[in-house]
């Protein structure tokens, strides 16, 4: 239990540090598109890893921060030791994917569009949580699954090219990576089931099989 609490505390401290980095660093970066993600532009490769930190306004910043904080809390409930590992994985993979597909749906005049903002992380966490709920199908995971759908009903609208100012390619990149990492890692990252609980579940299963056996008459 102590290790579990220490892991949660360490993860929350990392998240808090990340939010402080948002608050401190973003004002100086407003409008500084040189840090953005420019799809398929090799000369501006540094933006691949920095674009998610850049925001165009305070509304843009705090909208992503709040959503990320909520999704992180829901993530920590199920995977208390894996937040930092998942954040690093999704940041690297989703940013690279956005760099590759960021021009998707763009005409020739807009192929140099820059992508900024941490919504790519929000969609990665959301995709992971939703996929984990479908894979686990426990009371807790399904409760979190429906909570995400209820609180973020417009989550999937962000995947459509409705607003030209919104990076739906970034949202799509984050969602794809979140789903793929969940399919790959959820079973590995689940906390082990205590032996007593596992034995109890096996006993219940054995009893259930016996009751359904057509050759046993009570």
Q: CA neighbours within 13 Å on the CB side: how many for 50?
A: 13
pLDDT tens for the chain, residues 1 to 218: 555 566 666 666 666 666 666 655 555 555 556 778 999 999 888 889 888 888 877 788 788 888 988 998 899 889 988 888 999 999 999 999 999 999 887 765 555 688 988 999 999 999 999 999 999 988 999 999 999 988 887 888 888 888 888 899 999 999 999 999 999 999 999 877 654 444 554 555 455 554 454 443 33
Q: Measured between alpha carbons, how far is 100 from 44 in angstroms, rounded to an integer?
A: 13
The average confidence (pLDDT) of the chain is 79
The two three-digit tokens of residue 35, written as one number: 């840090």
Q: Measured between alpha carbons, how far is 155 from 74 in angstroms, rounded to an integer?
A: 16
Q: Measured between alpha carbons, how far is 106 from 85 in angstroms, rounded to an integer?
A: 33
Whole-number Cα distances in Å, 172 to 13, 29, 70, 182:
28, 24, 20, 15
What's the whole-model pTM score? 0.79
Do the beta carbons of residue 129 and residue 145 sit within 8 Å? yes
- pLDDT, residue 11, reads 65
Tell me the pLDDT tens digit for each residue of 86-109: 999 999 999 999 999 998 877 655
Question: Topology of 2-212 in CATH?
Answer: Rhomboid-like fold (1.20.1540)
């Amino acid at each position: 239990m102590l290790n579990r609490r220490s892991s949660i505390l360490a993860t929350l401290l990392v998240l808090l540090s990340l939010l402080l980095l948002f608050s401190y660093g973003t004002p100086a970066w407003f409008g500084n598109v040189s840090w953005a993600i420019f799809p398929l532009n090799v000369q501006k490769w540094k933006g691949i890893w920095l674009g998610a930190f850049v925001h165009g306004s305070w509304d843009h910043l705090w909208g992503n921060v709040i959503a990320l904080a909520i999704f992180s809390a829901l993530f920590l409930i199920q995977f208390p030791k894996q937040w930092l590992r998942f954040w690093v994985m999704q940041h690297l993979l989703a940013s690279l994917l956005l760099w590759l597909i960021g021009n998707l749906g763009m005409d020739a005049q807009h192929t140099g569009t820059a992508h900024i903002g941490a919504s790519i992380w929000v969609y990665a966490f959301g995709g992971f949580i939703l996929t984990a709920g479908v894979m686990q199908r426990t009371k807790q995971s399904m409760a979190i699954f429906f909570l995400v759908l209820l609180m973020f009903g417009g989550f999937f609208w962000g995947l459509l090219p409705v607003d030209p100012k919104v990076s739906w390619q970034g949202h799509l990149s984050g969602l794809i990576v979140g789903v793929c990492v969940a399919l790959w890692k959820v079973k590995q990252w689940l906390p082990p089931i205590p032996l007593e609980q596992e034995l109890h579940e096996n006993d219940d299963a054995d009893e259930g099989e016996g009751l359904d056996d057509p050759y046993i008459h009570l």
